[in-house]
Amino acid sequence: MTAANALKTAAPTSTFDVERYRADFPILANVHPHGKPLIYLDNGASSQMPQQVIDRLVRYQTHEHANIHRGVHTLSETATRAYEHARKQVQHFLNAKEDREIVFTSNVTDSINLVAHGFGRAFVGEGDEVIITHLEHHANIVPWQMLCEEKGAKLKVVPIDDSGALILEAYEKLFSPRTKLVSVTHVSNALGTINPVKEMIEIAHRHGVPIMIDGAQAVQHMPVDVQALDCDFYAFTGHKVFGPTGIGVLYGKAEWLNKMKPFRGGGDMILSVTFEKTTYNAIPFKFEAGTPPIAQAIALGEAVEYVQRIGLDRIAAHEHDLLTYATERLQAIDGVRIYGTAQQKAAVVSFYVNDVHPHDVGTLLNEEGVAVRTGHHCAQPVMQRFGIPATARASFAFYNKFEEVDALAAAIRKVQKLFA
C-alpha cells in the first residue's frame, strides 16, 4: 500500500464518544466468540439491547405486570398506563400527529400483513395494481403477492440500476388509474441503499395513491418524521432499534386506519359482541386483538427514547463515517467486491470475496470474533439482479468503532490467505 493510500484509509477522527455508549451494552463486553472480543456487525439482522432497556423490562416484570385495558385493580392500571405511555413514546419518535395512529404489532412482517389485509381486502380488487420495488425484503413482497393472487390484482416492480439505486423515472411510469397502493422499503437490508422516499411519496400522492414505507432498516440509522414525509403507512420493528423481539409498529394516518378492515379478530379489538353482530373498537385497538406483547412494547418505548437521547443526527453522522471507512478499507483489498454502491447508503456493506462462498467467509470471520450475516438476506430478487447466490454483509450500529472495521478487513485477508 502506498503512503497516500495509507493516509486515505486512516480512521477518521470523530467527536462521537463511542466508548461511552458501548458501556451501555453489556453483551459487547460479555461475549467472546472463540476467545476473541465480539465484533458485532450483524445489526441489520438484530441489534443489541442497552442496559437501560433491559432494566425497563425487569422493572416492568418485577413491579408492574398485569393484563391491560380490563382490570380495575392497581396493577392492571399501572400496566395499562405504561403500555399507553410507550405508544406516546413511539408517536414522538416518529413525530406522528396522534398516538392513536400508532398500532403495536409483532414485527414489520406483521405490520405489512396488517396493511395487506386491512387495506388490501377493503380497497384492492380484480385488475388493480400494487407497486413495490426490486430492493424489497421478502416481507414486503410475499404479502402483496398473496393479496394479488387472491384478488386477481397485479404486482408491479420498480427496477434498480447497477449501483442498487431505484430508477425513479421508471417508478413514475408504473402508475396507472388502477394503482391502489405503493409499498417500498426506506433502506435496503441487502445493499444499504437509502431510497428517495420523500420524492416517491410525492409522486404517489400526485397520482392519488397511498404509500407504505418499510422502515425496518431506517429508524435506527436516521431521524424519521412521518408528518414531514407525509407517508400513509410506516412500519418498523423493535429488535432492530435496540429493543426486544416480538414487538413491531405500524404507523397509519388515522383517516386510513379508520377506513380499513380489522386484521385479526378477538378480544380487545371489539366494543360489543353478540352472535348477530360485533362492533369494532376504535383505532388503534381495532388492530390489536388479544393480549399484546406488553413488556416488549414498554421496553420499545424506552429504546426509542434511548436513541433520541443520543440523537439520531449524531448517530447518522457517526455511521456515515463508519460506512465511508469500511468502504475504503474493503475496496483496498484485492478480490473483494462491494455490492450496493448507491450515492445514498446506510451503514451496510454487502461484499463478495472472490472464489470463496459467503458461507465459508462467515464461518471463518466468526473464528476471529467477527459476526456478519451471510446468505441472500431474504432478498433473493436483489441477489438475482446481481447474478450472485449470496453475499456477506457487515451492518453497523452507532456502537461500532473504526477499530472493528480494521478487524473485519484483517479477518477477510486471513480468509483469502486460507483459500489462496
Chain contacts with another protein (rule: CB under 8 A): 356-360, 363-364, 366-367, 374-376, 383, 389-390, 418-419
Question: Catalytic: which of 86, 378, 394, 408?
Answer: 378
Which residue, 280 or 386, is less far from another protein as judged by CB? 386
Which residue, 260 or 390, is less far from another protein as judged by CB? 390
CA separation, residue 381 to residues 129, 140, 160, 378, 388 (Å): 20, 12, 11, 9, 10
Which residue, 201 or 412, is less far from another protein as judged by CB? 412
- What cell numbers appear for 141 in the block? 413482497
Report angle CA 262, 175, 376 to the nearest 5 degrees.
Answer: 70
Asked if 167 contacts 196 with a C-beta cutoff of 8 angstroms, the reply is no
Smallest separation, CB 305 to another protein (Å) = 35
- What cell numbers appear for 27 in the block? 453483551
Report angle CA 304, 305, 309 to the nearest 5 degrees.
Answer: 120
Cα separation, 53 vs 350, in Å, equals 30
> What is the residue-wise DSSP string for 286-317?
GG--SS--HHHHHHHHHHHHHHHHH-HHHHHH
Smallest separation, CB 158 to another protein (Å) = 24
* 374: Cα separation from own chain's centroid: 18
User: Is 148 among the catalytic positions?
Assistant: no
Smallest separation, CB 34 to another protein (Å) = 8
Cα separation, 281 vs 263, in Å, equals 13
Cα separation, 286 vs 264, in Å, equals 9
Cα separation, 108 vs 365, in Å, equals 29
Smallest separation, CB 356 to another protein (Å) = 7
134 phi/psi in degrees, rounded to 5: -70, -10
Which residue, 249 or 364, is less far from another protein as judged by CB? 364
- What cell numbers appear for 75 in the block? 396493577
> What is the residue-wise DSSP string for 99-161?
GGGEEEESSHHHHHHHHHHHTHHHH--TT-EEEEETT--GGGTHHHHHHHHHHT-EEEEE-B-
Smallest separation, CB 48 to another protein (Å) = 20
Asked if 297 contacts 81 with a C-beta cutoff of 8 angstroms, the reply is no
Which residue, 173 or 359, is less far from another protein as judged by CB? 359
Amino acid at 256: W
Smallest separation, CB 340 to another protein (Å) = 18
Cα separation, 349 vs 357, in Å, equals 16
Which residue, 344 or 363, is less far from another protein as judged by CB? 363
Smallest separation, CB 297 to another protein (Å) = 31
The number of beta carbons lying within 10 Å of the beta carbon of residue 407 is 19
**297-317 residues labelled b (16+ CB within 10 A) or e (exposed):** bbbbbbbbbbbeebebeebee
> Which residues are catalytic, by number?
378
